Amino acid sequence: MIQLQTQRRGRHLAYQEGPVQEFEADYVVVGSGAGGAAAGATLARAGFEVLLAERGPWRRPEDYPETTLGAARDLWADWGQLTTRGNSIIPILQASVMGGCTTINSAIIVRTPGDVLREWASLGLGEVFTEEAMGTAQDRLDHDLSVAASSGPAMGPNNNIFLESLKARNREAHPTQRAAHACVGSGQCLQGCRNKAKQSTNVTLVPEMMQRGATILSCAPVQKVWLEKGKAVGIKGRFRHPRSRRFGASFKVRARRGVLIAASATGTAPLLQQSGIKLPYLGEGFRGHPGAGIVGVYPSAIKMLEGTPQGSASIHFRQSPGMKLESLALPLEVIASRVGGFGTPLVEGLEAYQRMACWCAAIRAKAVGSVRRGFTGEPVVRYSPTKEDLETLRAGLLELAQMHFEGGAEAVLPGVHGLPAKLGPADLHHLENAPLSNKSWTWVLTHLFGGAVMGADPARSVVGPHLHVWGVERLHVVDASALPTTLGVNPQHTIMAVAMVVAERLANEEKKS
């Protein structure tokens, strides 16, 4: 955990009404998720005056909702209604709150795999993101965010059966490493951790920035990057009330040294487009880890919500065919949409909730899409998993179904259109031959990358190896939108380390000059 001695105090401003508010800082950071908070904290530690603008409100653990409907309203972007446009509708779960997705994820921490860094090196990015630089940044994060393997009450039956079933099939299996301090396994990661265990950036790095003198704006969506003569000189935006969505005062922030954008893989490219930046590859290279879950119904109580929702995982298939398997406890409210039928059969199916275990496969997808700014300002994501991705997902769900039966399940609920709602151990041939159509599967898209990808060639990238936007001085992108490839693992640690490496470099260069 982060413990500070004394520093100058910063300030926080939430929704404001009235005349235009003007600010000035050395660096302006847009977005408070993994990338923005890590970059902002690094610059603040180096002694620079930082202003961070977050579009959502700042909620403390005592402000977090209890219900899933409350989470949709208070934490998720657009009530969880952002979806892809393509040959099927795939929900994209993102947060709109201080801390970004670190507030609603399971705080899973995975070091950047060596093969990913080697792949980046082959794209001309090896000079900056070396194993040493990334390792040093991740060591510091591990310490600051209390990273440790899930254990004790954080495990629970759902995670333990998952691990045992993997081991029985001779698959790699491990409890997840998480940024959580004294997790009691309340199963409420998705609604924000009311127990203050999860070390999301709204309770760690952002307060640290404030203690180091930063100004934090919440409820402050940025409308454009302020450009003058090919140089980023600040940002402009307008406060927005988190409940009524009414616009309040406009704000302008002048940046003396630079602007760092970390508005998420669905937000950064549209913001750059809105700011008048015209680069051929802007909005392209959008990638992700789409996934789906399969529910096992067991003869006795599992109590899926006892333990952390994603306490165990396997990277056995990460390289080939390219997927990660995880336990994933879902609340009753969410699992209702995964059970077949309507009316009495649906509710009768849900009566078995306490005997259900949900596990998921997240695909290292080959699909590449795009993200653009829509007419009303919302992101438009065009993305469709390929046939190869569907084959991988089908193989993943088949593996999970077999694991469920290995673990003692009576039946599995595949949630695939065209298949029976419930499959027994003798029915797995249905899943083996499930249709390879996106419209048949219940996908969810998480772990988003790209839209403003880094590269050595300006014709095939938006930012260079130091994450500077091509053709614009003093403007950097420090979030997942800069990552040029999928990772095959949870990306929070990589995003944070990338942001820290670049922010440290910026700080060192500024100090030298």
Residues near another protein (CB under 8 A):
12, 14-15, 57-60, 62-70, 72-74, 78-79, 81, 88-89, 98, 218-219, 242-243, 305, 331-337, 340-348, 350-351, 353-354, 417, 439, 442
CB of 206 to another protein, least distance (A): 11
Question: Which tokens is 309 given?
Answer: 């929702």
Residue 112 to residue 97: CA distance in whole angstroms = 26
CA 205 to chain CA mean position, Å: 17
Three-state secondary structure string covering 409-451: CCEEECCCCCCCCCECHHHHHHHHCCCCCHHHCCCEEEEEECC
CB of 423 to another protein, least distance (A): 15
Q: Which of 357, 339, 359 is nearest to 298 (CA)?
A: 357
Question: Could you tell me whether strands 21-30 and 50-53 are parallel, antiparallel, or unpaired per DSSP bridges?
Answer: parallel
Three-state secondary structure string covering 12-30: EECCCCCCCEEEEEEEEEE
CB of 56 to another protein, least distance (A): 9
CB of 353 to another protein, least distance (A): 6
- Whose Cβ is closer to another protein: residue 179's or residue 219's? 219
- Whose Cβ is closer to another protein: residue 96's or residue 312's? 96
Helix ranges, 379-434 (H)? 387-406, 428-432
How many CB atoms are located within 10 Å of the residue 153 CB?
14
- Whose Cβ is closer to another protein: residue 124's or residue 340's? 340
Residue 13 to residue 36: CA distance in whole angstroms = 18
How many CB atoms are located within 10 Å of the residue 66 CB?
11
- Whose Cβ is closer to another protein: residue 45's or residue 338's? 338
- Segment (H or E) for 490: none
- Whose Cβ is closer to another protein: residue 78's or residue 509's? 78
List CB contacts of 86: < 8 A, sequence separation 6 or more. Answer: 369, 382, 383, 384, 438
- Whose Cβ is closer to another protein: residue 341's or residue 471's? 341
CB of 474 to another protein, least distance (A): 30
State whether the Cα torsion 342-348-354-359 is positive or negative. negative
What are the residues facing 372 on neighbouring strands?
380
Residue 489 to residue 110: CA distance in whole angstroms = 7
- Whose Cβ is closer to another protein: residue 94's or residue 218's? 218
107, 190 contact by CB (below 8 A): no
- Whose Cβ is closer to another protein: residue 402's or residue 440's? 440
How many CB atoms are located within 10 Å of the residue 330 CB?
23
301, 469 contact by CB (below 8 A): no
- Whose Cβ is closer to another protein: residue 224's or residue 241's? 241
CB of 131 to another protein, least distance (A): 39
92, 83 contact by CB (below 8 A): yes
453, 482 contact by CB (below 8 A): yes
CB of 225 to another protein, least distance (A): 25
Question: Which tokens is 472 given?
Answer: 């614009």
CB of 340 to another protein, least distance (A): 7
252, 20 contact by CB (below 8 A): yes
CB of 251 to another protein, least distance (A): 16
CB of 271 to another protein, least distance (A): 19
- Whose Cβ is closer to another protein: residue 243's or residue 511's? 243
